[in-house]
């Protein structure tokens, strides 16, 4: 193997680490916020929904993810973090106001409304790019350079192992 082959492998590993770190950040957001939103949407009791939604809202507040836009190039309403956070916070407050003496039908209606708020069809409603917010521009460059490193590494490997 030529020295350039080893260099190609190193460049590919660097690219994989860049792209892989983005995947790790996505998993962490899912574990700390999005997963709890899904559990709140699936909850069968007001108390359980309140607990799960409370965990997600606490994570957002603890990490100062309560305002701004998750977009990089232009702002669209579906990427408004402030609206999304306010909607979650308001839903949590509504759950806290539900009296224990209300009928099961009223409780079911509250849970149905919560599910409709948290879900868009089968997907949790989360602004695109929220998992890397507020560092979306940084992560855009990390992934871009990761892909560039991968392409360059593959080219180096082809040149290093050219049989001619």
Strand partners, 150: none
Give me the pLDDT at residue 20, please.
93
Distance set, CA 22 to CA 15, 140, 142, 150, 156 (Å): 11, 9, 8, 15, 24
Give me the pLDDT at residue 73, please.
86
For the chain, the domain total comes to 1
* Percentage of the chain modeled with pLDDT above 90: 76
pLDDT digits (tens, 9 = 90+) for 116-137: 999 998 999 999 999 999 999 9
User: Model pTM?
Assistant: 0.85
Q: Which domain holds residue 10?
A: 3-160
- Whether 95 shows a pLDDT value over 90: the answer reads yes
Strand partners, 119: 124
Give me the pLDDT at residue 106, please.
93
**At which residue do the structure tokens 């192992």 appear?**
161
Q: Is the peptide bond before 138 cis (omega within 30 degrees of 0)?
A: no
pLDDT digits (tens, 9 = 90+) for 31-66: 999 999 999 999 999 999 999 999 999 999 999 999
C-beta neighbour count of 141 within 10 angstroms: 11
Lowest mean pLDDT among 6-10, 52-56, 85-89, 151-155: 6-10
Helix %, strand %, coil % for the chain, to 5?
A: 75, 5, 25
Q: Which of 10-14, 62-66, 96-100 has the highest mean pLDDT?
A: 62-66
- Residue 121 region by backbone torsions, left for phi larger than 0, else alpha for psi between -120 and 50, else beta: left
Tell me if residue 135 falls in helix, strand or coil: coil
- Eight-state DSSP code of residue 69: B
């Amino acid at each position: 193997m030529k020295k350039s082959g080893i260099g190609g492998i190193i460049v590919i590993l660097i690219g994989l680490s860049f792209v892989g770190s983005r995947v790790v950040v996505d998993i962490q957001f899912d574990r700390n916020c999005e997963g709890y939103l899904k559990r709140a949407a699936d909850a069968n009791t007001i108390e359980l929904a309140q607990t799960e939604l409370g965990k997600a809202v606490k994570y957002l507040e603890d990490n100062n993810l309560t305002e701004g836009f998750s977009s990089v190039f232009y702002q669209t309403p579906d990427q408004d973090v402030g609206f999304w956070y306010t909607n979650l916070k308001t839903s949590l407050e509504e759950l806290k106001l539900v009296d224990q003496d209300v009928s099961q039908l009223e409780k079911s209606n509250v849970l149905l409304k919560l599910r409709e708020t948290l879900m868009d069809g089968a997907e949790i409603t989360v602004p695109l790019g929220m998992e890397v917010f507020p560092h979306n521009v940084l992560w855009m460059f990390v992934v871009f350079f990761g892909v560039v490193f991968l392409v360059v590494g593959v080219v180096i490997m082809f040149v290093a192992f050219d049989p001619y």
